[in-house]
Chain A
Amino acid sequence: MTKTSASRLAVPADTRSSARFRSETLAVAMTFVISIILVIASGFISPALGSWSQVYTILTLASFLVVVAFGQGLVILIGGLDLSIASVIMLGGVMVTAWSGSGYPQILMIAAVLALCAGVGLVNALGTLWLKVPPFIMTMATGIIVASSALGYTSGTPRGVTPELFTWLMKSEVAGIPTILIFVGLFVFCGAMLQGWTSFGRRLQAVGTNISAARVAGLSVSLPVVAAYVISSVCAGFAGMMLVGYANGATLRMGDSYLLPSIAAVVIGGSSILGGRGSYIGTVGGAVLLTTLGTVISALGIEQGWRTVIEGSIIIAALLLLNETFMSLLGGPARR
């Protein structure tokens, strides 16, 4: 595989991939169909559910996960895993509230916080590239370092002001449509283009499929790796700011409930946890499905524990459906 052909891999080359493409599209369609069925079905159980306003609520709640899971998806695509995002979400949220009202222009301050988050991503990337620390250990370590620093910085209680920009983003409407949904729509479009249709996306895929083959093919390996981790951290930091706008404040545990779902959304969306394969649209489907499930379950009064159990079971089920050995045991067509 030469450099030119690698960057022009827009059309999948091998013969099996059309079948794979079909089954992946099917999986993505499934996540959306299940979400819609869940919303409609919940309308029968409780009259408060199943309405358009519930759909808006679900999509708004899903927006955080959609943003976070984009970065997580890129890191998983290159064969890594980002466990630091819970702390980076918190970092983004805590710092943006702490620095708001400090007199500097809002945009500058937001950029500074995002740069701080990007720094965490850079450390993650350099640790895995240079120090050869396994990705999930590296990101777990930076995660705990960031969490501990934030705990010390705030002495346990984050204080500050919510920046107006994020209050506007989360709570206003443009032409009757919530601003956040327009934003997420654009974000998903750009994200899907970046991951699926640019040579940058193909490079990430090449690194994730086989890092030494990518090296031999003359691709720069460090650049995609650094980009994936930095984007992941910036997305997480931004999601933290969105959460601040939504909840009107930051807490030290605000990121905790997004770490595992971000991995789950990527896996449910049909990406390979080993890297090298995955689409962002699939991830978005996974995020919407998880959020729908979460809201429906909590509306039904099912307690947090069972919710977590169901979430874990869905991850295993999704992994099983993507699993060749399991599918061939069922007698279905073996997939690769």
Chain B
Amino acid sequence: MTFSAAKETGGSRAVPVGRKGGGAVADLLRNGTFIVAVLYVILFVVNAALQSKALNINSVTNLVNNAAPLAIASAGQALIVISRGFDLSVAGVVSLTNVLIAAYPIKGPLGALAALAMALSVGGLVGLVNGFLVVKLRMQSIAATLGTMIITQGLALVILDAPKGSVADWLADEMTDRVFGYVPVAGLVVLAVVVLWLIARRTDSVVGLYAVGEDEGAASLSGVPVQAVRMKTFVAAGLLYGLAGFMLSAQTATGNPNAGTPFLMLSFAAVSLGGVSFSGGRGSPVGAIIGAATLMLLQKVLFSGGVSSFYTGIFQGAVLIAAIVFSGLISKLGSRRGMT
């Protein structure tokens, strides 16, 4: 399996995923990103109907600020799920970057840049370790990332043994602010991730990623450098978790060694809600981002609907199961129609 061979197949873009015939409507219905976007709009309207203040620029900014960390982390998780893997280390990386940023606050814009660099290098490093364990030692991704999750979670506890510390003012203020009066900075960061994805989408590596997720053996036979693709995927996901930890720190302005724990369940919920298939090779990080936004909006709707915050977990769990069952049904319908 040489790299030049990979270039050739990569260049031919042999893997347009999930297009199996049917009309334009069927195509849209099969597109998880489209479905979740519609769901988001419906929820948004419900929210606006329940609460007149929902369209206020402040509450929109809050909504974006709340959703951004999970959205970015879910984009990373989506990459791993597309490659037919699971990454539990998301929880540990978010916690670790959060306590690092809160325990060692550095003032000013340069300090924020340093914090970002720190967050990205922690995430990238954990991704590299995950990649090494899975690719080189052929461990199962769920087992390897379980280990790295526990270790990073422990390191977070070593740095801060309880919720304390405070994030540098500049970082906490600016990253949750708006530019030009209307555009939330956190929204711009998420947009940057989306743009990066749209650029990367046509590269050999991402085409290879879908091929590996669809069928690793076939991908390998057609010359995709499977190991390199998987490695890059883990590192990219790690970087995104680091960025998510950075954005979470800006939003909470404090350190919490367990800050990342909710991200474990929620990132998988967002991924499946966003139409990324757990059997690999289908969906996109953009869907996962909208899925994450939908989950956070759901919390808000439940709250404005008068449901006690005690019970939000019930809805999250139910949505998670429903999303997977629904996407399973859709893909079944899609393939059946594709065959006739």
Contacts and interface: CB of A to CB of B under 8 A. Distances in A.
Interface in B106-143: 133, 136-140, 142-143
Interface in A144-187: 144-145, 147-149, 151-152, 155-156
A273 B140 contact: yes
Interface residues of A, number: 46
B155 interface: yes
A265 B221 CA distance: 38
Nearest to B311: A152
B308 interface: yes
A131 B144 contact: no
Contact of B146 (A131, A144, A315, A326): A315
Nearest to B328: A132
A315 B143 CA distance: 9
A142 interface: yes
A41 B170 CA distance: 51
A190 interface: no
B137 A325 contact: yes
A316 B278 contact: no
Interface stretch (A44-52, A222-230, A304-312): A304-312
Interface string B254-291: 00010000001100110010000010000000000000
Interface in B286-333: 308, 310-314, 316-318, 320-321, 324-325, 328
B167 to A, nearest CB: 20
Given A131-B325, A152-B308, A260-B150, A137 B313 contact: no
A309 B96 CA distance: 12
Contacts of B159: 305
A62 to B, nearest CB: 19
Given A152-B311, A312-B148, A312-B151, A303 B316 contact: no
B154 interface: yes
Contact of B150 (A136, A138, A303, A308): A308
B21 interface: no
Interface in A110-141: 127, 131-134, 136-138, 140-141
B278 A141 contact: no
B310 A137 contact: no
Given A323-B138, A325-B138, A131 B321 contact: yes
Given A141-B321, A145-B314, A148-B314, A315 B268 contact: no
A323 B278 CA distance: 25
Nearest to A317: B147
Contacts of B278: 134, 137
B86 interface: yes
A323 B311 contact: no
A320 interface: yes
B151 A326 contact: no
A138 B324 CA distance: 9
Given A148-B312, A315-B147, A319-B144, A133 B321 contact: yes
A316 B138 CA distance: 13
Nearest to A260: B150
Nearest to B324: A133
A320 B137 contact: yes
Contacts of B269: 141
B155 to A, nearest CB: 6
A182 B328 CA distance: 48
Interface string B54-77: 000000000000000000000000
B101 interface: no
A99 to B, nearest CB: 20
A144 B86 CA distance: 19
Interface in B49-104: 86
Nearest to A156: B310
Nearest to B258: A256
Nearest to B158: A305
Q: Is the interface of A mostly helix, strand, loop or mixed?
A: helix
Most B CB within 10 A of own CB, among A136, A137, A326: A137
Contacts of A141: 265, 269, 317-318, 320-321
Nearest to A132: B328
Interface in B147-205: 147-159, 161
Contact of A313 (B146, B151, B310, B321): B151
B275 to A, nearest CB: 15
A134 B88 CA distance: 14
Contacts of A242: none
Contact of B142 (A136, A142, A324): A136
Given A141-B320, A260-B150, A316 B133 contact: yes
B154 A137 contact: no
Interface string A287-308: 0000000000000000111111
A319 B142 contact: no
Contacts of A303: 157-158, 161
Given A133-B325, A152-B310, A144 B142 contact: no
Contacts of B316: 144, 148
Contact of B137 (A132, A140, A151, A326): A326
Nearest to A154: B310
Interface of B: 86, 133, 136-140, 142-144, 146-159, 161, 257, 264-265, 268-269, 272, 278, 308, 310-314, 316-318, 320-321, 324-325, 328
29 contacts: A131-B328, A133-B325, A140-B268, A140-B317, A141-B318, A142-B317, A144-B317, A148-B312, A148-B317, A149-B314, A151-B310, A152-B310, A267-B143, A303-B161, A305-B155, A305-B157, A305-B159, A308-B153, A308-B154, A309-B150, A311-B154, A312-B147, A312-B153, A316-B133, A316-B151, A319-B144, A324-B138, A325-B137, A325-B138
Given A273-B140, A303-B161, A319-B144, 15 more contacts: A137-B268, A140-B320, A144-B316, A144-B317, A148-B312, A148-B314, A151-B310, A151-B311, A156-B310, A274-B140, A305-B159, A307-B154, A313-B147, A315-B150, A320-B137
